[in-house]
């Protein structure tokens, strides 16, 4: 374990205050964002809350999902992380993973009970995010499990329309 990580753990074990950065990220948020599974496990084991939120309402699970860290996602889910946690914009771990094309995380989250039809504050679904960002494998998976491909966001746009408007013709097919 790196020297600075060792100091973080020692401070946390002794009950010392673990400072958050200017965005409200704790060491657990940073470890999830950066893919450091060992540090994530150590911090959770000594009692750091896996559902802690930063200034933008991101939980460690949201950050791990967005950044594509499958083992951390699995670990956090096993420790009671909220699978439907939402950012200020209404983004969930599933929507973030879908927007980035992280198919294995998308499958993990859906298998673990994530709401495949949930929409964010604008009415966009995970399928919409996968479509607009041209993640064909994620789009195909969503459709294969019966996600509503005709869901309409508040602006009237469907996943097909979004894919077409952004030039993602393979998705539109």
Give the containing element (helix H, strand E) for 162. helix 159-165
Q: Is the pTM of this model over 0.85?
A: yes
Interatomic CA distance for residues 122 and 109, integer angstroms: 22
Lowest-confidence region among 7-16, 21-30, 79-88, 151-160:
7-16
160 confidence band (pLDDT: 50, 70, 90): confident
Helix axes 27-34, 70-78, angle to 10 degrees: 140
What pLDDT score was predicted for residue 55? 96
User: pLDDT, tens digit, for every residue of 110-119?
Assistant: 999 999 999 9
Number of domains making up the chain = 1
**CATH, residue 55:** 1.25.40.20
What is the rounded radius of gyration, in angstroms, for the C-alpha atoms of the chain?
A: 17
Task: Classify residue 101: in a domain, yes or no.
Answer: no
The mean pLDDT value for 74-96 works out to 98
């Amino acid at each position: 374990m790196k020297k600075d990580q060792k100091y973080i753990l020692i401070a946390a074990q002794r009950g010392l205050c673990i400072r958050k950065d200017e965005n409200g990220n704790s060491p657990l948020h940073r470890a999830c964002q950066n893919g450091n599974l060992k540090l994530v496990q150590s911090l959770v084991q000594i009692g750091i809350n896996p559902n802690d939120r930063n200034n933008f309402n991101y939980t460690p699970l949201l950050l791990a999902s967005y950044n594509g860290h499958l083992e951390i996602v699995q670990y956090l889910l096993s420790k009671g992380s909220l699978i439907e946690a939402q950012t200020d914009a209404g983004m969930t771990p599933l929507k973030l993973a879908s927007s980035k094309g992280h198919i294995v995380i998308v499958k993990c989250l859906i298998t673990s009970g994530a709401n495949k039809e949930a929409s964010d504050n604008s009415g966009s679904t995970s399928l919409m995010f996968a479509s607009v960002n041209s993640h064909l494998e994620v789009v195909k998976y969503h459709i294969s499990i019966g996600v509503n491909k005709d869901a309409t966001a508040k602006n009237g746009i469907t996943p097909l329309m979004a894919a077409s408007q952004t030039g993602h013709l393979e998705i539109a097919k």
